[in-house]
Amino acid sequence: MFRFRLTRNLRKKLKEPFGRVISGPEEEADRELRKAALVGPEGKIICVGDAVSRKFVKLGLPTNLKVVDNKEMRRKLGPFNFKAKSIFKVKNPRGTIGFMAWQIMKEAMKKEDALILVDGEEDLLTLAAICLAPLGSKIFYGQPKVGVVMIEVNERKKEEVRAIISMMKLENLTSPINRHTSFV
């Protein structure tokens, strides 16, 4: 098994919103989210993070996939009854994208209504979601103290993410592998 680990330089880069920020007074931001949460027949709506997933549930907005770790800003949250037809569980250590997390994300993308419960940290799985989501999908995640970020999945965004992942440190947890081995 192997995983990608975030480097210090990339950590700084990823602190910046990766798409369009939806913020402002709550009613206004909620109106914007309702407008933004529409996709064509091939696209999916994906929420990464507890706050944004709870927000979508609260507003009654549709999602195809929610990725949560029961934490907000690294603080444990009380239980929230997320519902989905397909539920996956995976361990993904902080600051990494693990092979199993990637594989689970790939499987969950095939479902119409899925939930991934992450033991560890889900933030970087946004990158996996961008790589694996069908073109035309929208990915939403929370940017602390900024708002909700919406990413429209297109080829340019996928290329940008593949470039970022290629700069991450590849850690081999079992045996030697070629640096060019890819699960992207």
Contacts 24+ apart (CB under 8 A), 108-112: 108/65, 109/44, 109/65, 109/133, 109/134, 111/64, 111/65, 111/85, 111/86, 112/64, 112/85
Q: Return the number of other C-beta atoms located less than 10 Å from residue 144's C-beta.
A: 10
pLDDT by residue (tens digit) across 96-130? 999 999 999 999 999 999 999 999 999 999 999 99
pLDDT the model gives residue 74: 62
Domain borders along the chain are 2-74+91-172
Q: Nearest CA to 11 among 140, 158, 127?
A: 127
What tens digit of pLDDT does each residue of 25-39 get? 999 999 999 999 999
pLDDT (tens digit per residue) in 41-52: 899 999 999 999
The pLDDT > 90 percentage for the chain reads: 79
Please state, in angstroms and rounded to a whole number, the distance separating the CA atoms of residues 183 and 17.
Answer: 25
For the segment 79-104, what is each residue's pLDDT rounded down to a tens digit? Answer: 667 889 999 999 999 999 999 999 99
Q: How confident is the model at residue 71 (pLDDT cuts 50, 70, 90)?
A: confident
pLDDT higher than threshold 90 for residue 54: yes
Distance CA 71, CA 73 (A): 6
Which run of H or E residues covers position 50? helix 50-59
